[in-house]
Amino acid sequence: MDIIVCVKRVPFTQEVDLEIDKSGKSIVTDGLAYVINDWDGYAVEEAILLKERIGGNVIAVTVGSEDDEEVLRRALAMGADRAIRIDTCGRSLDGLVVAKAVAAAIKGFPLDLVLTGVQADDDNQAVVGIMLAEIMGLSHAAVVRGIEPEEGSLKVRVELEGGIDEIRQVKLPALLTIQSGINEPRYVSVMGIRKAAKKELKVIGIDELGLSEADLALATEIEEVYLPPETGGAEMLSGDPSKLARAVIEIMRRKGVAV
């Protein structure tokens, strides 16, 4: 099975006091550590597990600068066979342009399956995978928690709301967006990453993909980024349960909640 897996390098923002930069459209990233996007780590592991189970090749793809090759080296150390970095060439990209660029870069490759993470830690838009499937005309499923290969298709477990799963049959070639928890990503040592340096990593400029200026035009634009407003502490109620119930209903009415 020939598998393409998309990965992204994102800032690690947990337990960090974030600041808005001077443009008001992003955060200050100086001093932040960068890691592979959490969902993408599960996607890479699932690609490698499928390769180990039924054979094939895995190609990891990312869009970004030379610094972003770090996540490709990690994917190669996990077991991917090749890697491709699409250089942005200084352009600003949104989810749609990223999807168009990836589609153009992998066009013509032997392809049975494309895996992406459900979403990215930095923007949480959850759009690139689905738009990539649409551009490439692939059958697809989102928020996948389990994969069982079958002849010419996959049986996939899809997470729905309320803790319910749905089993679907997806015809190959296909694209799946992978949910965290589908597997346990393997540990990658520093030595493993160094050994992965011997594997092929190809760089393609986004301006080399044959995309028009219309293709590269932004469909979305960030106008402002801001921190959530600070709110007061919780209001503690005590006393008789029947009186408490009436008090809660009154609070909900004041807040505009229909009761």
- Domain assignment of residue 191, yes or no: yes
Q: What pLDDT is recorded for position 259?
A: 59
Q: What's the helix, strand, coil split of the chain in %, to 5? A: 30, 25, 45
- Domain assignment of residue 96, yes or no: yes
Q: What pLDDT is recorded for position 205?
A: 97
Number of domains in the chain: 1
Nearest to 68 by CA among 86, 81, 82: 86
Q: What pLDDT is recorded for position 156?
A: 98
- Domain assignment of residue 238, yes or no: no
How far, in Å, CA of 3 to CA of 172, rounded?
Answer: 11
How far, in Å, CA of 40 to CA of 5, rounded?
Answer: 8
Across 115-153, b (16+ Cβ under 10 Å) vs e yields: bbbbbbbeeeebbbbbbbbeebebbbbbbbbbbeeeeee
8: tokens are: 């992204």
- Domain assignment of residue 227, yes or no: no
Question: What's the one-letter identity of residue 133?
Answer: A
DSSP state of 118: S
Nearest to 158 by CA among 166, 150, 148, 169: 166
- Domain assignment of residue 23, yes or no: yes
- Domain assignment of residue 198, yes or no: yes
CATH number at residue 41: 3.40.50.620
The 3 state secondary structure assigned to 169-217 is EEECCEEEEECCCCCCCCCCCHHHHHHHCCCEEEEEEHHHCCCCCCCCC
- Domain assignment of residue 240, yes or no: no
Q: 10-residue block means of pLDDT along the chain (259 residues)? A: 97 87 89 94 98 96 96 96 96 95 96 97 92 97 97 96 91 97 93 87 96 94 85 80 88 79
What range defines the domain where residue 175 resides? 2-208
- Domain assignment of residue 254, yes or no: no
